[in-house]
Structure 1
Amino acid sequence: MSREGEETASLWGGRFEGGMAPAMVPLNLSLDVDGRLWRQDIAGSRGWARALGRAGVLTEAEVSALLAGLDAVATRLESGGIPAGVEDEDIHSLVERLLTEEAGEVALKLHTGRSRNDQVATDLRLWVRDAVSDLDRAITDLGRALLHLAEQGLDVVMPGYTHLQQGQPIRAAHWALAPVWPLLRDRARLRAAAEAAGVLPLGSGAVAGCPFPIDRDALAADLGFYAVTENSLDAISDRDFLADLLYAGALIGVHLSRVAEDLVLFSSAEFAFVRLSDGFSTGSSLMPQKRNPDVAELTRGKTGRLVGNLTGLLTLLKGLPTGYNRDLQEDKSLAFDTVDTLMLVLPALAGAVATARFRPDRIRARLDSQLWATDLADYLVHRGVPFRRSHEAIGRIVRLAEERGVGLQQLSVDDYRSIHPSFEEDVHDLFDWDRSADSRAVPGGTARSAVETQLAAARRALGG
């Protein structure tokens, strides 16, 4: 096949004399990256052919020939992929060349009034909508896996941590549900990115708009967009919707990393609250006893590239003058990598969570009596003691128990009264883990009733 500068291979070579410099050729090529947009490119081209027909630029026969040719191109690419060794500059030139092979001379009319600038912007927006649908399903699967884990932990009380120090008793279900709500916010951010991508740039041309009477509103409806762009200069260079997607992707990564960190900690011998299944654990080449939580560690590690992709795109965009600039060729690899990474990580983490199991015996063994300290402070508040006074008194009680080397439940009523006279015989009724958790029955709390309400709300939000 001939190279750039020759009519059969280039979409722009007429103004140039001679071929492209050898050192420029590989820099100029993008098919290895944007080739995955072939479905979107064909979809946009079908819509554009119909729009040209409605505008009277093409005859019905020409539109039919182009649509049939595009169907044939789609069949070729679906069955065989992009052929090895092709020298087309990008996916747009490849599709046009294949269309010419299938439909003949009429294929050369398809690009009337259209630029690769508004073409690629349209392709990307179509791709974002598809990608968001895939990500939404994968996030939903992880959310449902967390629900399944939460259901196992409804009657398991575990330490709740702040600063990685035991704070108050909570139900294990409450811990398992905590990541569900960030994931639901992630789904909302993804939907916002898809909505931002739902504005059609096609018809903006290279910079100044289209000189033919294209009904852009009809074209938008045909391609599934809800509106058209208002300014052709902005339309061809707007990548805000990609920034929205990559921001959502980076934050998803952060949320997944936090889930992963919990799994690493809680599956360790020091905690042993959770056991990951063998299918999502690995061993050591040296130490036979090891069960490594690699699924969590790999998930945690992938977050760096997700954050990096967002930073890369924002850096790419920050210095561009108004209008299309070739720098934007770099946007696709960042977006593709973010989605590919998430679609690699999400199913693996969902599988790990779905097959994980709580270890109630190990959890109960780790419950420290000092977790009841806040309950003791609340006990005094219920008897009219100001909270700050109560807080100070319980601090002294904790110190007394530590000095004696006993648990809070092992101190006598006289010990408690020596610190504050408001303690009565019923103080020892506090020392029950379920009772402690159930005392926090407000919406969003860790009482069993509140957690059941939360489970129901999460099921509704996740659709089952």
Structure 2
Amino acid sequence: MTKKKQNPWGGRFSGGMDRLMERYNASISFDRRLWREDIEGSRAYAEALKRAGVLSGQECAALLKGLAEVAAEIEAGKFAWSEADEDIHMAVERRLTEIAGPVGGKLHTGRSRNDQVATDMRLWLRGAVAELRQELRTLQQALLEQARPRLKTLMPGFTHLQQAQPISAAHYLLSFFWMFERDRGRFSDLALRADELPLGSGALAGSTVGIDREWLARRLGFARVSRNSLDAVSDRDFGAEFISAAALAMLHLSRLAEDLIIYSSSGFRFVKLSDAYTTGSSLMPQKKNPDALELARGKTGRVIGNLTGLLATLKGLPSTYNKDLQEDKEPLFDTFDTLADSLRIIAGVVATLEFQPEAMEAFLDDFLLATDLADYLVRKGLPFRQAHETVGGLVLECEKRKCGLRELPLQVYRKRNALFAEDVKEALDFSASLAVRKATGGTAPAAVRKQIRQAEAALKKD
């Protein structure tokens, strides 16, 4: 069933839109989130129209006053939203015209919703990036605070989820600090590329009303104007980059979550999770489940899906604007919300984490020191490959005897290689193993102190 309704674009139509099509076509249910950016852009555009001689001073003042009233109504929750408005641009224009009268219809002179929405989204992205970078910084600060007192706290380092070499808890925590530092950098980088004003590009071919786009860019805080109107109205690279950066940040959160799920389990007990970020079982009274971590891990797939979906939407579009681009906002907004909440939750998990050093040290396997044994032989002149082979044989001997490397008699060592002497015991010490790895980026306390200073310096840059 159809109905006749007056749309801002309805002059060439003789019939009404199907009711289902109206709902299918409308984006007001989700793009209303852009109301601040839409009104900010419209204020600047009204001033630009005045500068171009399209609006009188009185008309511009009336529009600015009306836009302020619209903003106040929305802020106060008094704005009457209607699906009939189709999108945020038409909703604001409809209410502006009700307040200011026919002059409201002049605001769209030389402007298309194509360049309008592209501007709104870039303005929104500017704020979203700033907020996410701050949330990342908060999480990094929590990691740094947990790392500072744990330079000598021993824990097993894993590869392939098998015990590999001893590391410090501080070194482990800082490994995630640098992942999130890269994430902050990615958001900064994409913001630089997105710092470009499309407004004034019109529907696709540019403006005919003498808009000073360079002035408009300065007015809205953009670094530059877009250089091609066809590209400007269809470019959603910034959206894809934003979700891509967010997907990587979520991936890093997921990796941290996976580790902490394992380390807090009854098989490890390296850490205890706060009650504030865990839940229980409706059946099993003893359960304390790491739901915050599991949800962060699960929501990572959601954000990756948002990226895949947007890329699939963009991949086959002809130049220039197409309605498919309406599908960019929901994944963009959902990605922001998901990442922002996940960062806040995981920052809370990290800040309240209780390390259990006794449990971590008890978990240390002698075989973690196998590489140190090989290095011991290398220092005595044996080529590394031969040292590797020798120590591998000692590990096999331990497995046969069901003992650790520190329990093997010296004669067994010397039978494998005469270079072993009484001082081999010095190589079979977990703290000593930490201390010798003092090259930049290593797990030695001295190297980790340097790393902490570097981390502090990175956070001070903002």
State if a TM-score over 0.5 links the two structures.
yes
Which residue of 2 is the match for residue 298 of structure 1?
295
**Which of 12, 27, 31 lines up with 2:28 in the alignment?**
31
Q: 2 CA distance for matches of 1:70 and 1:327?
A: 29
1:139 equivalenced with 2:136 (yes/no) = yes
Q: How does 1:179-194 map to 2 (within 5 A)?
A: 179-194=176-191
Q: Deviations over 1:166-211 (max 9, x none)?
A: 0000001111111111111111111122122211000000011000
Whether the aligned pair in 2 keeps the contact of 1:193 and 1:242 (CA below 8 Å) is no
Whether the aligned pair in 2 keeps the contact of 1:35 and 1:82 (CA below 8 Å) is no
**Which of 222, 231, 238 lines up with 1:241 in the alignment?**
238
TM-score, structure 1 length as denominator?
Answer: 0.97
CA separation of 1:326/1:412 partners in 2, compared to 1, >3 Å: closer, same or farther?
same
Which residue of 1 is the match for residue 43 of structure 2?
46
Q: 1 CA distance for matches of 2:149 and 2:437?
A: 20
Structure 2 unmatched ranges of 5 or more: none
Q: How does 1:149-164 map to 2 (within 5 A)?
A: 149-164=146-161
Whether the aligned pair in 1 keeps the contact of 2:23 and 2:83 (CA below 8 Å) is no
Q: 2 CA distance for matches of 1:71 and 1:123?
A: 17
Q: How does 1:14-29 map to 2 (within 5 A)?
A: 14-29=11-26
1:352 equivalenced with 2:376 (yes/no) = no
Which residue of 1 is the match for residue 424 of structure 2?
427
Q: 1 CA distance for matches of 2:396 and 2:30?
A: 64
Which residue of 2 is the match for residue 92 of structure 1?
89
SS at match of 2:17: coil
**Which of 305, 317, 320 lines up with 1:320 in the alignment?**
317
1:254 equivalenced with 2:251 (yes/no) = yes
Q: How does 1:52-63 map to 2 (within 5 A)?
A: 52-63=49-60
Q: How does 1:172-211 map to 2 (within 5 A)?
A: 172-211=169-208
Q: Deviations over 1:416-443 (max 9, x none)?
A: 1110011111111122211101110000
The structural deviation recorded for 1:118 is: 0.3
**Which of 260, 265, 270 lines up with 2:267 in the alignment?**
270
Whether the aligned pair in 2 keeps the contact of 1:316 and 1:328 (CA below 8 Å) is yes
Which residue of 2 is the match for residue 112 of structure 1?
109
Q: 2 CA distance for matches of 1:66 and 1:4?
A: 29
Q: 2 CA distance for matches of 1:229 and 1:169?
A: 53
Which residue of 1 is the match for residue 338 of structure 2?
341
Identity in percent: 54
Deviates more, 1:452-461 or 1:255-264: 452-461
Deviates more, 1:202-211 or 1:407-416: 407-416
Which residue of 1 is the match for residue 64 of structure 2?
67
SS at match of 1:80: coil
- Residue type of the partner of 1:18? G
**Which of 394, 407, 419 lines up with 2:404 in the alignment?**
407
Q: Deviations over 1:141-176 (max 9, x none)?
A: 111111122124222111000000000000011111
* Alpha-carbon RMSD: 1.3
Paired positions, count? 459
1:448 equivalenced with 2:445 (yes/no) = yes
TM-score, structure 2 length as denominator?
Answer: 0.97
Which residue of 2 is the match for residue 308 of structure 1?
305
Whether the aligned pair in 1 keeps the contact of 2:28 and 2:83 (CA below 8 Å) is no
The structural deviation recorded for 1:86 is: 5.3
Whether the aligned pair in 2 keeps the contact of 1:397 and 1:419 (CA below 8 Å) is yes
Deviating above 6 A after TM superposition, structure 1's stretches of 4 or more consecutive aligned residues are none
Structure 1 unmatched ranges of 5 or more: none
SS at match of 2:165: strand
The structural deviation recorded for 1:256 is: 0.6
Deviates more, 1:29-38 or 1:143-152: 143-152
Which residue of 1 is the match for residue 222 of structure 2?
225
Deviates more, 1:445-454 or 1:97-106: 97-106
The structural deviation recorded for 1:88 is: 1.0
1:170 equivalenced with 2:167 (yes/no) = yes
The structural deviation recorded for 1:255 is: 0.7
